[in-house]
Amino acid sequence: MLCSLSKPLSKSLSKLFFILFFIFFSPCLFLLLFILLFILFCLSRACGFVTLIIFVAILA
């Protein structure tokens, strides 16, 4: 009985933790994803050197 109750409880807790983690870190993750997509787009357009300079300037 206790084991059958603890399984869905741990599942819902992990889901809640994931949602809280995603809400807390979503701006950072969105920014990182946007930067990665931007770099990939510019590399495909063969201006990767300019992108690298911009990226270093943003980080610095």
pTM here is: 0.35
CB neighbours of residue 54 within 10 Å = 15
SS3 string of 13-51?
HHHHHHHHHHHHHHHHHHHHHHHHHHHHHHHHCCCHHHH
Torsion of CA 9, 13, 19, 20, to 10 degrees: 150
| Residue 4 DSSP one-character state | H
The per-residue pLDDT for range 3-48, each reduced to its tens digit, is 555 566 667 777 878 877 776 777 777 777 788 877 777 666 656 6
